[in-house]
Copies of this chain bind each other. A is one copy, B any other.
């Protein structure tokens, strides 16, 4: 069995390593090619060294290639994995900084809300270039496995406009699944779940412990009495209490999709936890990403050495990618939760939106389970996001800055905090600041810049309600020494 996998944005070193290790664990895949590509030659070189070392040490036949020429990397690929971040940490910082001036205090900012919407504006033009290359030089029918955020918007654009067979992948469902098992104090493999909705707003609709259905009260009591979750997951637990269903998304992330928890700066601290990883802090994921980038740079030799451990000791992670490939190539059925165009899967969300819902992969592709009806409150919450996403994707495709502003205006948290005039000015400011990554708005930028000369609303100068400082590499080492849990958001 031989085929080619291309990883775009392979310079996301940690994630690429994880993906590759998983893939290399599949016995049938020993004779494949993995092509790494990134616009950053330095990062690309680091990850190539790491993966090659894994291959060498384990005496595999896998061919590893690395090039900054994306098109050549895609030639003949049957599978393309994408984990890019357009605009990098620089644009990301603006996604957090500018909305803060208008009172919008985001924790992650990569899905919807002002930051996520702009992130999508940057990402979609890039994704469409990838799609063009895939259509033109990859294997016919090649599958794009997208990990890049904002997941729903990016996948939407690739499917509807990029015309590439695309599935969006995330590990949020697995993370919540583990939490539920922990909250119920039972082993993970005794807990079965149906989780459905849209990425980062997926709902555990049915939870069974050894086949017995777990009700809201039992679940709620499990979480409220859990020594860690009870204070780290306050928003999620409150949503569970109100809606009756637990949500996939981490505490701080969830809080920024909803109009209720972050609109009063003085109350934000009531809903979040500042210990450990990110549970709601202002710009938390930006801090986390910044720290990790620095850390990796410094400790590269250590990471390279670690790559020398035998693969046999590596436990395959629960990331979907390697399992999907395994199912498609061998026919062994894999059940997971995937981001695809809705069609007829979720009956009370729009057919054109990108949902995340259970599917079964076999030889023929990803088979989504038809016919799910979300509880009304979950559907209402999801459809508010979907409406924002639809306007955002269309704006990203057309460069229509008015539509972009309408998208931001309809964002639940922005809408609960800002007035229309504030939204209009905030978007102008963001588009001007990020113009280099927004080719589709080239014509709109000058007028926006002009409007900003005579601001119509006042802005606020602050760091947000709950800001932590970026830690030094030494701090991180110390912290790591103490513990080693928690999953990143992605």
Residue from B369, B381, B406 within 8 A of A376 (CB atoms): B406
Interface-lining segment among A84-92, A93-101, A224-232, A415-423: A415-423
CB pair B410–A194 under 8 Å, yes or no, is no
A133 within 8 A of B: no
**B-contact bits for A334-349, CB 8 A (1 contact / 0 none):** 0100000001110110
Tell me the residues in window 310-358 of chain A with beta carbons closer than 8 Å to chain B beta carbons.
329, 331, 333, 335, 343-345, 347-348, 350, 358
A294 within 8 A of B: no
User: What is the minimal beta-carbon distance from A257 to any residue of chain B, in angstroms?
Assistant: 12
With A259-B415, A331-B211, A370-B343 as known contacts, state yes or no: A383 contacts B387, CB within 8 Å.
yes
A449 within 8 A of B: no
A416: B residues at CB distance < 8 A: 259, 263, 415-417
- Name the residue of chain B whose CB is nearest to the CB of A242: B420
User: What is the minimal beta-carbon distance from A368 to any residue of chain B, in angstroms?
Assistant: 5
In angstroms, Cα B482 to Cα A212, docked, is 51
- Name the residue of chain B whose CB is nearest to the CB of A341: B371
Specify how many copies of this chain sit in the oligomer: 4
With A350-B348, A387-B383 as known contacts, state yes or no: A192 contacts B362, CB within 8 Å.
yes
CB pair A410–B329 under 8 Å, yes or no, is no
A394 within 8 A of B: yes
A369: B residues at CB distance < 8 A: 360, 367-370
A409: B residues at CB distance < 8 A: 242, 260, 377
CB pair A380–B376 under 8 Å, yes or no, is no
User: What is the minimal beta-carbon distance from A171 to any residue of chain B, in angstroms?
Assistant: 20
Tell me the residues in window 143-165 of chain A with beta carbons closer than 8 Å to chain B beta carbons.
none
In angstroms, Cα B264 to Cα A105, docked, is 18
A363 within 8 A of B: yes
- Name the residue of chain B whose CB is nearest to the CB of A360: B360
A430 within 8 A of B: no
Listed residue (A362, A370, A412, A420) with the most chain B CB atoms within 10 angstroms of its CB: A370
In angstroms, Cα B402 to Cα A206, docked, is 19
CB pair B344–A192 under 8 Å, yes or no, is no
With A192-B331, A376-B394, A390-B376 as known contacts, state yes or no: A420 contacts B384, CB within 8 Å.
no
A383: B residues at CB distance < 8 A: 383, 387
A379 within 8 A of B: yes
Listed residue (A333, A335, A364) with the most chain B CB atoms within 10 angstroms of its CB: A364
Residue from B208, B261, B347, B367 within 8 A of A358 (CB atoms): B367
User: What is the minimal beta-carbon distance from A140 to any residue of chain B, in angstroms?
Assistant: 12
User: What is the minimal beta-carbon distance from A373 to any residue of chain B, in angstroms?
Assistant: 11
A238 within 8 A of B: yes
- Name the residue of chain B whose CB is nearest to the CB of A357: B370
In angstroms, Cα B260 to Cα A418, docked, is 7
With A242-B409, A360-B333, A360-B369 as known contacts, state yes or no: A387 contacts B380, CB within 8 Å.
yes
Q: What are 7 A-B interface contacts by the 8 Å CB criterion?
A: A238-B420, A333-B360, A343-B347, A376-B403, A377-B410, A380-B410, A383-B383
Q: Which 10 A-B pairs have the closest CB atoms?
A: A344-B344, A367-B369, A380-B387, A370-B370, A416-B416, A377-B406, A360-B360, A259-B415, A192-B363, A368-B370
